């Protein structure tokens, strides 16, 4: 099976999956990973684990690859004349919300109903004085489903989840835009790695995990690391690319490099090993400096049980946490390849090299 | 050769054919000053229906559909082809472009939106700085147009040029009793005017003006009205339905119009005091056919009637709009029944139109 990476990624960013409600995206990832794995299971808090057994003698060491699959989203807090009031799941700048297309996952009727909707900004006359020109606080925004008030009440109740519904767009230069490329782009890179490893010899067991609830604090990864007990973990998440309006420290160009995190949430020996692999295979990387933490699953995996050594990769992304995030497929492919080469190169006694000076 | 299915009975529907046409109109990129895409659709739809069709110096499409009765009133009906959007003004390289807004778009509606640029609908996005990189103080500031950029992807040299126009990339969808789309202001009017030309009542000379540059100040309507020299003017447009709940639960006393309450007849806006004879005529026509209708709350805003009624020696004029929520944003929302009732109202009113409406004393 040849992986159609662009289609795989577009399928994933067409699916809902706000933190705690990852069912739709989990099934898409399961379909992609199942043929590449010996075993697939779902962990207690909803993460998907695909296991590829290595060729080494038992007991084999194992590496966890973690990429979170959950998305930021919204949740219904009230219904007012058929309009929905809402709160956030994860961090959303309310300034990006007016005019966004969403899906309301209504659970009030016997059969759940997905309702297309749009976040709307009420007219100035219905807002407090500063509503005319200032940024509107989220509490004043509404979701309009186009349905009549009675229909809305029939299908929707307080607590229902609202996901972003921006359609995927193919941009120039192998770029894709849409919602939740944070972090489906990284999940796609894991798929690339699994696909490459399916054609390669590897001694280690590979535990690919699409983690849940990262956007609310690394919850899935925290318990997955305990459930899996890997010898070490590779975490992959998106990082800030150079973009109009501001970039992070790295200022990474799209389509050029795979950032490798350097900070407190990576083991220096693993970091060096990853850099060595990149050099050996002429894979273009750059250090992504995270002076405190990188704000990813790495933070929680690292302190699971008695501690797990972590190395972290990134995929440069523009406009993080907006529904028009942009990534380059080149970066997805390169990150997948780097992970595959790294894992394929692991000797059974590799952990003896993961030591402090 | 004009088709001759001139009719007095017309029961508008929004079937598959009609919805396809409306989708095609709404999904077009036709920003003020470059209305070519909608103009082409109008010309294609009407070339076999109208005896005389021309494109004037401004780019208006002027269609003259003459009736067969005696003493026919010359009625100009205007619907504007243009929509709000933007123009690319600076190429910053690597797929990043600066832009300026065309027409009244609240900058708060631009952030985080997919857009479509130029005749080839090149896809792009208007991004925003990641929330992680903003300060609480920054988040208290509206992102202004000159801080925003359009991004069409890397290595995209030449696909988009400075001077190209574009707009939101939203596609029309039906949501239960509603339609959600960009540019319903005023593609609904364009759609309705196409239907009226196709089903024109025989007792009038229908002077259909598909106008340009309405959003920049009713500029197309001015030359169209001069050329047509009509006896009566009607603008078919879309008007805000601000029928949302008040933030603190107070009564909403200024909805302007409400969805579901029928076509909105204008008594007065910033540009026009509606001709009271025509208002009476429209209301009487609606009542006679049991078509729901509402008065738009008198106030701001304007339509092509603002220019039409001041043309030459003066043209009694009125406006009728389909009420719409969220005009000039990524998508507006209308009720399908309001749209169909608007078309029904104008058609039935035209079948009742004779010159005595303007000279009521002659009826005595």
Cα–Cα separations (whole angstroms), residue A162 to A214, A355, B56, B178, B328: 17, 45, 48, 20, 24
Nearest chain A CA: its distance from B86 CA (Å)? 17
Question: Can you identify the CATH homologous superfamily of domain A73-164?
Answer: Peptidase M42, domain 2 (2.40.30.40)
For the domain covering A5-71+179-353, report its CATH number. 3.40.630.10
Cβ-Cβ contacts under 8 Å, A127 against chain B: 247
DSSP of A270-327: HHHHHHHHHHHTT--EEEEEESS--SSTHHHHTTSTT---EEEEEEEEBSTTSTTEEE
Domain co-membership, B203 together with B316: yes
Asked if the structure places residue B271 within a domain, the reply is: yes
Partner-chain residue, chosen from A99, A167, A326, that has the shortest CB–CB distance to B331: A99
Domain co-membership, B106 together with B238: no
Partner-chain contact B242 A123, CB within 8 Å: yes
Partner-chain contact A243 B127, CB within 8 Å: yes
pLDDT for the residue A229: 96
Cβ-Cβ contacts under 8 Å, A99 against chain B: 109, 113, 168, 326, 329-331
Name B29's Cβ contacts closer than 8 Å, sequence gap at least 6. B37, B85, B116, B117, B118, B119, B121, B165, B166, B167
Name B225's Cβ contacts closer than 8 Å, sequence gap at least 6. B76, B78, B209, B233, B307, B308, B311, B312, B315
Whether the bond into A183 is cis, omega within 30 of 0: yes
Cβ-Cβ contacts under 8 Å, B168 against chain A: 99
Cβ-Cβ contacts under 8 Å, A144 against chain B: 325-326, 333
Q: Residue B136 maps to which CATH number? A: 2.40.30.40
Domain co-membership, B219 together with B308: yes
Beta-bridged to residue B115, according to DSSP, are: B124, B168
Q: Which residue ranges make up each domain of chain A?
A: 5-71+179-353, 73-164
Partner-chain contact A81 B169, CB within 8 Å: no
Q: What is the block-wise mean pLDDT of chain B (364 residues), using blocks of 10 residues?
A: 53 94 98 97 92 92 93 96 97 94 95 96 94 90 94 86 97 98 98 96 96 95 97 97 94 95 97 96 97 96 95 97 97 98 98 88 56
Asked if the structure places residue B5 within a domain, the reply is: no
> Which chain B residue is nearest to residue A323, measuring alpha carbons?
B112
* Interatomic CA distance for residues A65 and A188, integer angstroms: 12
Partner-chain contact B244 A81, CB within 8 Å: yes
Determine phi and psi for B220, rounding to 5 degrees.
Answer: -70, -40
Nearest chain A CA: its distance from B58 CA (Å)? 32
Domain co-membership, B79 together with B106: no
Domain boundary among the residues B144, B168, B192 is at B168
Asked if the structure places residue B107 within a domain, the reply is: yes
**Active site members of A:** 214
Say what the ipTM of the complex is: 0.93
Q: Which residue has the tokens 């759940």?
A: A112
Residue B341 contacts residue B263 (beta carbons within 8 Å): yes
In the predicted model, residues of chain A with pLDDT beneath 70 are: 1
Residue B122 belongs to what domain range? 85-168
pLDDT for the residue B4: 44
Cβ-Cβ contacts under 8 Å, B247 against chain A: 122, 126-128, 131, 140
Nearest chain B CA: its distance from A255 CA (Å)? 8
Partner-chain contact A319 B127, CB within 8 Å: yes
Partner A, chain B 153-212, Cβ-Cβ below 8 Å: 153-156, 159, 168-170, 173, 175-180
Asked if the structure places residue B7 within a domain, the reply is: no
* Interatomic CA distance for residues A59 and A149, integer angstroms: 61
Nearest chain B CA: its distance from A209 CA (Å)? 25
Asked if the structure places residue B10 within a domain, the reply is: no
pLDDT for the residue B358: 87
pLDDT for the residue A68: 98
pLDDT for the residue A294: 87
Cβ-Cβ contacts under 8 Å, B245 against chain A: 80-81, 83, 122, 126, 142
- How many CB atoms sit inside 10 A of residue B147's CB? 15
Asked if the structure places residue B128 within a domain, the reply is: yes
The model scores a pTM over 0.90 = yes
pLDDT for the residue A249: 83
Domain co-membership, B89 together with B72: no
Question: For strand B204-211 and strand B73-80, is the pairing parallel, antiparallel, or unpaired?
Answer: parallel
Q: What length is written for chain A?
A: 357
Domain boundary among the residues B129, B145, B168 is at B168
Domain co-membership, B92 together with B71: no
At A263-306, the pLDDT tens digits run 998 999 999 999 999 999 999 999 999 988 889 999 999 999 99
Vertex B148: Cα angle to B142 and B153 (nearest 5): 145
Domain boundary among the residues B145, B168, B191 is at B168
Partner-chain contact B133 A240, CB within 8 Å: yes
Q: What length is written for chain B?
A: 364
Partner-chain contact A328 B154, CB within 8 Å: yes
How many C-alpha atoms does B41 have within 13 Å on its Cβ side?
22
Fold matches, A5-71+179-353 and A73-164: no
Partner-chain contact A173 B153, CB within 8 Å: yes
Asked if the structure places residue B175 within a domain, the reply is: no
Token pair of B316, please? 């009694």
Domain co-membership, B78 together with B126: no
pLDDT for the residue B362: 58
Partner A, chain B 53-72, Cβ-Cβ below 8 Å: none
| Domain tally, chain B | 2
Domain co-membership, B90 together with B133: yes
Nearest chain A CA: its distance from B217 CA (Å)? 22
Domain co-membership, B153 together with B284: no
pLDDT for the residue A158: 98
Domain co-membership, B192 together with B109: no
Question: For strand B122-126 and strand B150-151, is the pairing parallel, antiparallel, or unpaired?
Answer: antiparallel
Partner-chain contact B252 A245, CB within 8 Å: no
**Active site members of B:** 214
Domain co-membership, B73 together with B91: no
Domain co-membership, B141 together with B197: no
Nearest chain B CA: its distance from A182 CA (Å)? 11
Residue B305 is given by DSSP the state H
pLDDT for the residue B158: 79
Cβ-Cβ contacts under 8 Å, B106 against chain A: 121
pLDDT for the residue B112: 96
């Amino acid at each position: 099976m040849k992986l159609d990476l662009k289609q795989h990624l577009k399928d994933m960013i067409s699916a809902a999956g706000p933190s705690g409600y990852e069912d739709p995206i989990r099934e898409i990832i399961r379909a992609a990973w199942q043929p590449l794995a010996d075993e697939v299971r779902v962990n207690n808090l909803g993460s998907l684990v695909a296991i590829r057994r290595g060729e080494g003698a038992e007991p084999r060491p194992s590496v966890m690859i973690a990429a979170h699959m959950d998305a930021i989203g919204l949740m219904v807090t009230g219904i007012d004349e058929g309009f929905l009031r809402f709160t956030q799941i994860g961090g959303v700048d309310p300034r990006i919300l007016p005019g966004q297309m969403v899906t309301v996952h209504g659970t009030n009727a016997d059969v759940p109903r997905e309702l297309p909707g749009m976040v709307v900004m009420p007219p100035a006359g219905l807002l407090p004085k500063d509503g005319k020109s200032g940024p509107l606080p989220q509490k004043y925004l509404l979701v309009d489903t186009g349905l009549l008030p009675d229909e809305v009440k029939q299908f929707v109740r307080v607590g229902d989840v609202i996901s972003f519904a921006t359609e995927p767009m193919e941009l120039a230069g192998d770029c894709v835009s849409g919602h939740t490329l944070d972090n489906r782009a990284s999940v796609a890179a894991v798929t690339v790695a699994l696909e490459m490893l399916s054609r390669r010899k590897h001694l280690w067991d590979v535990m690919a995990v699409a983690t849940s609830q990262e956007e609310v604090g690394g919850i899935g990864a925290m318990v997955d690391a305990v459930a899996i007990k890997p010898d070490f973990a590779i975490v992959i998440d998106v990082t800030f690319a150079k973009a109009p309006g501001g970039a992070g420290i790295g200022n990474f160009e799209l389509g050029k490099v795979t950032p490798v995190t350097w900070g407190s949430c990576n083991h220096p020996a693993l970091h060096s090993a990853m850099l060595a692999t990149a050099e050996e295979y002429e894979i273009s990387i750059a250090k992504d400096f995270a002076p405190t933490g990188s704000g990813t699953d790495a933070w929680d995996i690292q302190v699971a049980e008695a501690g797990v050594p972590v190395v972290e990769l990134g995929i440069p992304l523009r406009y993080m946490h907006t529904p028009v995030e942009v990534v380059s497929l080149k970066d997805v492919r390169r990150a997948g390849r780097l992970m595959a080469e790294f894992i394929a190169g692991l000797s059974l006694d590799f952990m003896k090299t993961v030591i402090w000076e | 050769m004009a088709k001759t299915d001139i009719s007095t009975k017309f029961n508008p529907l929004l079937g598959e054919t009609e919805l396809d046409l409306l989708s095609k109109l709404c999904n077009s990129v036709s920003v003020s000053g470059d209305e070519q895409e909608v103009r082409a659709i109008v010309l294609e739809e009407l070339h076999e229906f109208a005896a005389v069709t021309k494109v004037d110096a401004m780019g208006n499409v002027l269609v003259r559909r003459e009736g067969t009765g005696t003493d026919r009133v010359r009625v100009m009906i205007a619907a504007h082809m243009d929509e709000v959007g933007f123009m690319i003004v600076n190429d910053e390289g690597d797929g990043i472009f600066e832009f300026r807004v065309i027409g009244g778009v609240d900058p708060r509606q631009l952030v985080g939106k997919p857009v479509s640029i130029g005749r080839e609908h090149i896809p792009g996005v208007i991004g925003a700085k990641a929330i992680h990189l903003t300060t609480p103080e920054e988040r208290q500031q509206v992102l202004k147009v000159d801080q925003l950029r359009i991004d069409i992807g890397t290595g995209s040299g030449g696909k988009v040029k400075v001077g190209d126009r574009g707009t939101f990339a939203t596609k029309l969808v039906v949501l239960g009793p509603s339609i959600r789309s960009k540019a319903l202001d005023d593609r609904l009017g364009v759609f309705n005017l196409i239907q009226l030309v196709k089903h024109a009542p025989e007792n009038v000379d229908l002077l259909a003006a598909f106008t340009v540059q309405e959003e920049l100040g009713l500029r197309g309507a001015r030359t169209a009205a001069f050329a047509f020299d009509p006896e009566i003017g009607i603008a078919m447009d879309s008007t805000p339905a601000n029928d949302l709940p008040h933030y603190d639960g107070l009564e909403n006393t200024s909805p302007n119009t409400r969805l579901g309450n029928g076509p909105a007849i204008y008594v007065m806006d910033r540009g026009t005091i509606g001709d009271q004879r025509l208002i009476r005529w429209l209301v009487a026509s609606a009542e006679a056919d049991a078509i729901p209708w509402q008065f738009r709350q008198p106030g701001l805003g304007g339509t092509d009637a603002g220019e039409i009624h001041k043309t030459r020696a003066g043209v009694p004029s009125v406006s009728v709009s389909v009420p719409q929520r969220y005009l000039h944003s990524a998508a507006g929302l209308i009720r399908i029944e309001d749209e169909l009732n608007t078309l029904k109202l104008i058609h039935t009113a035209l079948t009742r139109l004779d010159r005595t409406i303007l000279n009521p004393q002659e009826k005595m």
